[in-house]
Amino acid sequence: MTDLTSKKYGVISLGCDKNRVDSEKLLAVIKERGCTVCNDIEEAEVVVVNTCSFLNSARKEAIETIIDCASYRSGKLEKLVVTGCLPQKYIGEVFPALTEADVFLGINDYDKFFEALERSYDGERVNFVGCGNFSRAVDRVVTTPCHYAYLKIADGCNNYCTYCLIPKIRGRYISYPIEQLVDEASRLGDLAELILVAQDVTRYGEDLYGQRRICELIQRLSALENIGSIRLLYCYPDAIDDRLIEELRSNPKLIKYIDIPLQHSENRVLRLMNRKGSREGYLELIKKLRQNVPGIAIRSTFISGFPTETEEEWQEMCAFLKEAKLANCGFFAYSREPDTAAYRLKGQIAQSVKNKRVKKLYDVQAEISREYLESFIGKTIKVLCDGIDYDRGCFVGRAYFQAPDIDGKVYFNCADGVQGNYYEVTLTGCDSYDLFGYTKDYMDITED
Q: Under a CB-based contact definition with an 8 Å cutoff, are residues 381 and 430 in contact?
A: no
C-alpha span between 411 and 212 (Å, rounded): 39
CATH of domain 4-127: 3.40.50.12160
Give residue 136's pLDDT.
Answer: 67
CATH of range 148-372; options 3.20.20.70, 3.30.70.590, 3.80.30.20, 3.30.2020.10: 3.80.30.20
Tell me the pairing of strands 79-84 and 103-104: parallel
Residue 447 confidence class, pLDDT cut points 50, 70, 90: low
Reported pTM: 0.95
pLDDT tens, position by position, 170-189: 999 999 999 999 999 999 99
Residues of the chain with CATH 2.40.50.140: 380-447
Report, as an integer, the average pLDDT of 378-395.
Answer: 96
Is the model's pLDDT at 93 over the cut of 90?
yes
User: Which DSSP string do the residues of 72-97 spell out, in sequence order?
Assistant: GGGTT--EEEEEEHHHHHHHHHHHHH
In a 13 Å sphere around the CA of 246, the CA atoms on its Cβ side amount to: 6
Is the model's pLDDT at 405 over the cut of 70?
yes
Residues of the chain with CATH 3.40.50.12160: 4-127
Rg of the chain, C-alpha, whole Å: 23
Report, as an integer, the average pLDDT of 340-351.
Answer: 96
Looking at domain 380-447, its CATH superfamily turns out to be Nucleic acid-binding proteins (2.40.50.140)
Query: How many percent of the chain have pLDDT more than 90?
Result: 95
Give residue 441's pLDDT.
Answer: 82
Give residue 163's pLDDT.
Answer: 97
Q: Residue 441, SS3?
A: helix
Residues of the chain with CATH 3.80.30.20: 148-372
Residue 133 confidence class, pLDDT cut points 50, 70, 90: confident
